[in-house]
Structure 1
């Protein structure tokens, strides 16, 4: 199926062509016509499945039929769990709305930065992309009202709930008009998500598969048995010997991320730690450099990595194993996306071997531990 068969107008099809999108992903085929028809949607889709375009494109199409806003009453509200995801969606909206006959103004609002520029930007906004806490702050300051919202999108609802936004989301729902279109996207159908579905959605069309597993066949998995004291040098050995130009490294804590980055940079490997204690500007700039190939290594914790979406990321390394098999799948699923192959590497200490076997058993996969005693790490 082509995008032209989904009911989109010529200006949007031209925007899609400019972005070099060829054929729609399954979630886009399923969701775009339904949103255009005005139906509520429950989209079960993980990051990297093409879901952002699945709701952005029909929303832009709907806005072409409406008069531009001249006040602080947006038509569309998109709620997200992280600043990174808000900025990614903002980029997608800007890419596809460029050149459309009816100008569309998107604004992203999130915490960690000054609220004043966001308050000024909200005037005349058609689409507001927001994290719940900052949005409530801005509403309290009369910077905007949700009274005229016609479309509500909850993106990665399961993560918003797991990150403790449940009460704020309920507060925001109470401020929205009763008649509106609701689009809920989640990677899993947890009990809390099911509760929101029942209270929020009216006869929704369900698209996608709940808790859809990553396509692990596109990911080459390998693991190395390593002692704790040789872990850092062995990581540097892998990066240099495999000539890695772009690699996402996972650790379990902010402190571990900072310590690892210091050692990588001392050994001539450009690296940056992505965690909540970094300023928003620094994180955005680091992600931009990483995507452009100007930064070799991003070291991230599980939470902050949820906002990192990079097509064709070649390498993921588990410097420290995650707590659960689900987190492991989420980590290695950062690579092997959009039908591109990738490599996921785990460094496993003797203390972690049992936990690693549990992860593999849950995944129903076999990954042999390769010995590393004979690897000469002198100079690394």
Structure 2
């Protein structure tokens, strides 16, 4: 494995990396950073928690610190993301690495759900903008910024952009970008939507796909278990798991916003502090729920798959699949929320009789094996 010194990064940036405790680059960083520094278009595919964000943040900072700073509203690098939570997460990574550089790079995250005025006022001198599509278009229409001088255009969680209904916004934004630019696409999975994005941008990027066997992460970092439970006992059994084990900071996955809200209500009625987070919630509500979860104000966060892409929590101990996802890839992505950065995590799945066949398919496709434990003997009275 290479060191960060081998990737073409300058000494000041490497000092920041070492100060933050990073010793060796992840595989996606080993391949993506030199390719981006050389000016190539890149499509990076790697699972969540594999170091994708730093693989484009580091080379963008490296390239911009060697250029002349600006004091106008022409940004140099644009990073599009599907959610507010992901925008904030990426902005924090930029802040972490933007220390002791030859010159400071002004970065900013913009998103909807809050007043646009402070964002408009803050645009002067911004070189790197991390934005959700809707708010970016709002700012452009208010003449708060220009895309005419964008030299680097990145899309993170590219596979989710179209699933969350950003087709029209993406077309508008791409049409405003200069034809001569570097394009970076990053995603947890390589699917038709990512290929569609590549076609819309009319690019033939270097494709860097990091494949990590699901069972490798499972055996080393994630302790997985599954419990057979009837539909009627599923809610009480979830409460039993949380209370009897005194679980704190539990991320629970469900398939719909309706289930998320109903489950949240029942947990709170039973003395478990919980909040839901899904696409039908306002940006402000989602931010507050995530902040309460991170600070320990609530013990349980219930989320749908689309929203969970923007959740980053260091040392998240427990993930529970209250409902199974549709695909094995989404299953691996869900459990990958825990067991990050070499920390041991737990992943628990609740399996009804109707789920058993689908759960077997997930295990087969993901090349994992999880013994299905009985829950019949557990007394759920009072839960």
Q: Report the TM-score, using the length of structure 2 for normalisation.
A: 0.91
Q: Superposition pairs for residues 13-162 of structure 1, below 5 Å?
A: 13-162=14-163
How many residues in Structure 1 have an aligned counterpart in Structure 2?
380
Match of 2:286 in 1: 283
Whether 1:216 aligns to 2:218 is yes
SS at match of 1:174: helix
Kept after mapping to 1: 8 A contact 2:318/2:346: yes
Whether 1:361 aligns to 2:364 is yes
Aligned counterparts of 1:355 and 1:192: Cα–Cα separation in 2:
24
Aligned counterparts of 2:331 and 2:284: Cα–Cα separation in 1:
28
SS at match of 2:259: helix
SS at match of 1:350: coil
Q: Report the TM-score, using the length of structure 1 for normalisation.
A: 0.92
SS at match of 2:355: helix
Measured after TM superposition, the shift of residue 162 of structure 1 is: 2.3
Per-residue deviation, residues 99-155 of structure 1 (Å, max 9, x unmatched): 433122111122222222222221221111111222122212211110011111111
Long gaps (5+) in structure 1: none
Whether 1:335 aligns to 2:338 is yes
Match of 2:189 in 1: 188
Match of 2:312 in 1: 309
Measured after TM superposition, the shift of residue 5 of structure 1 is: 2.2
Per-residue deviation, residues 59-80 of structure 1 (Å, max 9, x unmatched): 1111111222211100000011
Measured after TM superposition, the shift of residue 210 of structure 1 is: 6.9
Aligned counterparts of 1:155 and 1:262: Cα–Cα separation in 2:
33
Deviates more, 1:196-205 or 1:113-122: 196-205
Long gaps (5+) in structure 2: none
Kept after mapping to 1: 8 A contact 2:153/2:183: yes
Kept after mapping to 2: 8 A contact 1:247/1:314: yes
SS at match of 2:319: strand
Deviates more, 1:64-73 or 1:265-274: 265-274
CA gap of 1:358–1:39, structure 2 versus 1, over 3 A, is closer
SS at match of 2:146: coil
2:303 to 297, 300, 303: 300
SS at match of 1:119: helix
Aligned counterparts of 1:344 and 1:192: Cα–Cα separation in 2:
28
Kept after mapping to 2: 8 A contact 1:189/1:210: no
1:248 to 247, 251, 258: 251
Kept after mapping to 1: 8 A contact 2:294/2:313: yes
Measured after TM superposition, the shift of residue 261 of structure 1 is: 1.9
Per-residue deviation, residues 263-282 of structure 1 (Å, max 9, x unmatched): 22233322221123434334
Runs of 4+ in 1 over 4 A off after TM superposition: 210-214
CA gap of 1:63–1:121, structure 2 versus 1, over 3 A, is same
CA gap of 1:148–1:248, structure 2 versus 1, over 3 A, is same
Kept after mapping to 1: 8 A contact 2:214/2:366: no
Match of 1:323 in 2: 326
Kept after mapping to 2: 8 A contact 1:271/1:295: yes
Measured after TM superposition, the shift of residue 3 of structure 1 is: 1.6
Kept after mapping to 2: 8 A contact 1:248/1:299: yes
Measured after TM superposition, the shift of residue 25 of structure 1 is: 0.8
Match of 2:13 in 1: 12
Aligned counterparts of 2:89 and 2:55: Cα–Cα separation in 1:
14
Deviates more, 1:294-303 or 1:23-32: 294-303
1:373 to 365, 371, 376: 376
Aligned counterparts of 2:366 and 2:63: Cα–Cα separation in 1:
42
SS at match of 1:291: helix
SS at match of 1:189: coil
